[in-house]
Structure 1
């Protein structure tokens, strides 16, 4: 695997973590949305990630020379899908709310700000680590070019 292949892996992780952070932001923005266009409360979204281009962990380890002979380089990570939660809505008593049912209860999305902040911190941390990896790779490329001078 060459350094450009490593940059491609890191850049795929940067894209995936950006999507993850965007989904968390949408969840937080809709934490109090009691009625969507479909007439139901907003449903929490989650990002599902997968290895890109059919790569496997063993294949990645081989390509890095950790185990066995080298094979095709790993392809990084990609967003497989964004799925909606199937958790039931939280019911709160608020008879003055326009979306209250006959008993005075309003259905709110099952979104925990704490859970969303933990997800955002994880996405942010992963993004930062991959950005650092790209910077280190750029430094290695610059040092390689300096050796060739």
Structure 2
């Protein structure tokens, strides 16, 4: 029974990490047109217990993408400098949508493991009752 509980915990940690990743990806998409906005990058870390690997994952530090911000020419923009340029966002919508799909599919895979484990537990309890 502890193996079933362990697989549920592993699936739950994966779902939580992917949900957090999807939240940051959504923030990036929402701020794609915000001047000066830097893309957020989420890293995953393996959780350790007393120095041992647990198989669980969590989101680590959130980093800001340090790639150069594009300079956009629009003299009418309130943030434009004397030459008519302002710094845009370094969010690439194609990359963000691909990341969102990857996070969604990973979340769904972990959910499937969770559901299968729950079904196996139910079947085991039904067998023990007979």
Q: Output the TM-score relative to the length of structure 1.
A: 0.81
1:2 aligns with 2:19: no
- Which portions of structure 1, spanning 4 or more consecutive aligned residues, are displaced by more than 4 angstroms? none
1:77 aligns with 2:78: no
Structure 2: state its 5+ residue gaps. Answer: none
Cα gap change, 1:86 to 1:142, in 2 (>3 Å): same
Q: How does 1:1-149 map onto structure 2 within 5 Å?
A: 2-34=3-35, 41-53=36-48, 54-56=51-53, 74-149=54-129
In structure 2, what is the Cα distance between the partners aligned to 1:80 and 1:30? Answer: 22
In structure 2, what is the Cα distance between the partners aligned to 1:55 and 1:27? Answer: 34
Task: State the aligned residue count.
Answer: 126
Asked whether the 8 Å contact 1:55–1:75 carries over to 2, the reply is: no
Asked whether the 8 Å contact 1:44–1:110 carries over to 2, the reply is: yes
Structure 1: state its 5+ residue gaps. Answer: 35-40, 57-73
Deviation at 1:81, TM superposition (A): 1.1
Q: Output the TM-score relative to the length of structure 2.
A: 0.93
For residues 18-37 of structure 1, what are the alpha-carbon distances to aligned partners after superposition, in whole Å with 9 as ceiling and x for unaligned?
A: 00000000001111111xxx
For residues 15-66 of structure 1, what are the alpha-carbon distances to aligned partners after superposition, in whole Å with 9 as ceiling and x for unaligned?
A: 00000000000001111111xxxxxx1111010001111554xxxxxxxxxx
Greater strand proportion: 2
For residues 58-109 of structure 1, what are the alpha-carbon distances to aligned partners after superposition, in whole Å with 9 as ceiling and x for unaligned?
A: xxxxxxxxxxxxxxxx241011111111111111111110011111112111
